[in-house]
Amino acid sequence: MNNVAMSRDRTRPRTLAAAALAMALGAILTAAPGAPARAATTFDPAHTRLTLTRLVGGLSSPVGITNARDGTHRLFVVEQGGRIRIIKASTLFAAPFLDIHTRVTCCGERGLLGLAFHPSYKSNGKFYVDYTDVNGNTVVAEYHRSSTNANRASTSERILLRVTQPYANHNGGQLAFGPDGFLYIALGDGGSAGDPGNRAQSLNTLLGKILRIDVNHRTGSLQYAIPSSNPFVGRTGLDQIWSYGLRNPWRFSFDRKTGDLWIGDVGQDNWEEIDRAPKSAGAGRGRNYGWRVMEGRACYNPPSGCNTSGKMLPMAVYSHSFGCSVTGGYVYRGNDYPMLVGGYFFGDYCSGRIWALVAGGPNTQTAVQMIDTPYNISSFGEGETGELYAVDLAGGAIYRIRGQTI
């Protein structure tokens, strides 16, 4: 997000007037029309209705939700203030799984922002968090499950990475293990507005990037190893960098079926964007997503005549008529709603709208608005079987995403 609670470089109205919204949707987005009911074989947004059902409330500024893939079917919710909570069978546990609020600076765009469980968590109990420390800098650290209580974690940490943040905004924060077993880390461009240090395009800083590291080994004095297949190993550029040219990647995910990488990158003045990096094309390896030269598909710096050579254009964009801060989502691969399979669902923090793209579709698509919610959507997440959830930061609630063929 460009905001988590949330400050922004600008302010936008939460909703549009009904008439203006109708005109705008007709011009830019395609609304899903009604049609006779039919069997769904592949995701078709025009014949699918999306609904959200409240799972739990009572959370404090939730910004993420994920699972441990350990067979327990628990959901783990990241609270921005520095706690991780557990949900099981629609019950929110009172005691936190992890409480590190004394180590965390909150709030605005700072806080405990990311959580990822080791692929072998069931046996080794390791998980990883991304937070803003008391000095305002990004920390990525390893923690362990308690040896005596599976619903609690030790507060002992091993810091893998610390990145100095020049400003309070654009921290990124998403963590996820890829199909290759490596940990991917999202970092924003360092903040302010317009990337004044041109950090996203610089290969000499970790800001404005997605990183890839090996948490199972160590290289020299590092607390992790650098995969030899990282794109800048042996070349000019920091070895940790996987892809660059990002403003503030607020939530990325891997399609659990295809391995494709999906990124929601928050825009500056006019455009929000969704990027897709197919596994077959390297899953984003060495990609330049364009910021600050480009915002979405438009030139930003310079405002016209920019050099687009070597830059990957987004799969989809939407204007600030529809929101102000994209929240990247997931491709649905669950079992309960076959009509949703193969749809990529994402939203906007400011407007509460949720859109869909066809995961296996063309490289350029127009997003289809599926539902307009009153929520501040700070994140999406997957359960163990691929069911999807949406997170409402202001309301402190988790919603399950459901589908229906129409």
β-bridge mates for residue 48, sequence order: 405
Number of domains in the chain: 1
Determine contact, residues 348/377, Cβ cutoff 8 Å: yes
For residue 4, tell me if it sits in a domain: no
The reply to whether 142 falls in a domain is yes
**Helices marked H in 115-250 — which ranges?**
121-124
Range of the domain at 229: 18-405
Residue 1 lies in a domain: no
For 228, other C-beta atoms within 10 Å of its C-beta total: 9
Give pLDDT, residue 2. 55
What lies within 8 Å, CB to CB, of 266 at 6+ separation is 1, 2, 170, 247, 248, 249, 250, 272, 325, 326
DSSP annotation of 361 reads S
In the chain, which stretches have pLDDT less than 70?
1-41
Query: What b/e readout covers 323-334, taking b as 16+ CB neighbours within 10 angstroms?
Result: bbbbbbbbbbbb
Residue 175 lies in a domain: yes
Q: By the 8 A CB rule, do 251 and 380 touch?
A: yes
* Any domain includes 9: no
Confirm whether 3 is domain-assigned: no
* 97 within some domain: yes
How far apart are alpha carbons 102 and 203 in whole angstroms?
A: 33
Looking at residue 1, its pLDDT comes to 58
Q: What is the pLDDT of residue 39?
A: 38
**Residue 353: CATH number of its domain:** 2.120.10.30
Residue 39 lies in a domain: yes
Q: What's the whole-model pTM score?
A: 0.92
Closest CA to 262 of 185, 328, 187, 188: 328
Report the share of the chain in percent with pLDDT over 90: 89
* Residue among 22, 120, 104, 28 at smallest CA distance from 71: 120
Element holding 22 (H helix, E strand): helix 18-27
